[in-house]
Structure 1
Amino acid sequence: MNASGAGALPKISLLVSDVDGTLVTKDKILTERTCRAVEKIHEAGIKFAITSSRPPSGMRMFVEPLKLETPLGAYNGGLVVRPDMSVISEHTLALPLAKEIIEIINKHSLGVWVYVGNDWFVQSGREQYVEREKFVIKVAPHIVNNFDGIKGNPGKIVGVSEKFELVEQCEKEVQKQFGSQVSASRSQPQYLDITHPKASKGLFIETLLSYFSIDREEVVTIGDGGNDLSMFKQSGKSIAMANGSDELKRQATYVTDSNEEDGFAKAVEKYVLGALVSS
């Protein structure tokens, strides 16, 4: 485990974690060591919250094993729910804007996924990575010929491709064309997540700061993806996974081991619980 920063942490009131690539293994498993680490966080009086690009239904399975009592940030914080799935706040994409986004994704030959609430829509014939996503979020998609019949504003649109360079190119064009109208970042090399501009993990941190009346310096965040950078910037200390991007690791206070090496649990033990002992 490497550290890119030094010094004891101040008071720690809240730890916020990404899910995929951070909290769970590549096979989407919560290890025993991870569960014990979260249990110790609770015992230390530290609040623990999770945020993800997943829909709320794809986060429900963590509530019981991790004994979550804090809000959950679904769709990168665009939909904030309580552990019972009741809605606290929601930011969605207007349908006219969503249609323009879909056109650009199609132009780059990426698959398109559209999420409305807990419903997931996939265009027929463009079903790459669908089976894996079904396994991850425990929800079956609605297969549609097009997205014209969708009712309700999307919480998230995803561009999908195994050609990572196309995903990166599409990300740049969406950011350039829509600017502050959207938040666009890659949660994984194959996934471009596009949400409302107020749907970011950084703004989820701000929601929690207000919700619990705590200071930013009392927050520790941990993640692996480009969409985690915004929450790193809103926390007192940040921890990047070894399997994360080079840019994220450069921005982090600390770097822990990968999600295949219990990096989350090791980070909690050393940088969160360990800091309490040394302070």
Structure 2
Amino acid sequence: MSPRAIRWTIIAGVLVLWEVLPRAGLVPVLFLPPLTTTLSVAVTEWRSYGAALAVTLSQVMVALLFAVGGGILVGAIVGGVARMRQVLLPVFSSLYAVPLVVLYPVFTAWFGIGSEAKIAFASVYGFFPTMLSTAAGIQTIDPNLMLTARSMGATPVQRLFRVILPAAIPTVLAGLRLGGALVIIGVVVAEMLISSAGIGYLITSSRTVLNSPHVFAGVLLVLLIAIGFDLAMRLLEKRCAAWSGAGRARPGASDVRPAEA
């Protein structure tokens, strides 16, 4: 069987077990409601779940902009400047190891309990992997490429878009994939802790009254968001594949000589 067929077989098996195990009484319905019951709840109450999904998606999109934009910008600066890399990279690496969820009360104290706190928390949550991957990607650029670009008279902006970013694209996208996933987690976790709207809030409010079908309906929506983000990243990687090859070292690249004026 092909890897794709194996993946679909595993997914189908999980869905079948999700339906059969509770129906057969092998798993308490309180712990795992049947799949059809969960889907029925999501369809019946699509208005409330749709409104919650819109709130969560809007916050995820804004947090992604801050996490990705800030992560790539700071990562490019830290990775491209040797002095800043030596001073700041160990600091950012240490901060990345801190469980940021324990700092969420600080965000609520600074920004209140509205959307601002959730967006700020999720942005910081996804900032570190994007920044660290960008800095690591820039450090792996072949120095001969930069030397050749300078000798040909390339401006800093041209070197950024023609050499640095294309060469760092693979690692930047890897950090973006992880950072985006953490942004989604950050928003949902923040909604579960202190919020009055969003998918995380629906999951928490349903959990407090032991309404398992509603809880798992919310979990399915979170999974759909994660799957949608992963598919978008796969498409972006395919689009950037040709561009990233422009900045990679080629055999004999060090022998390239600048064109004569």
TM-score (norm 2): 0.29
Higher helix fraction (1 or 2) = 2
Greater gyration radius: 2
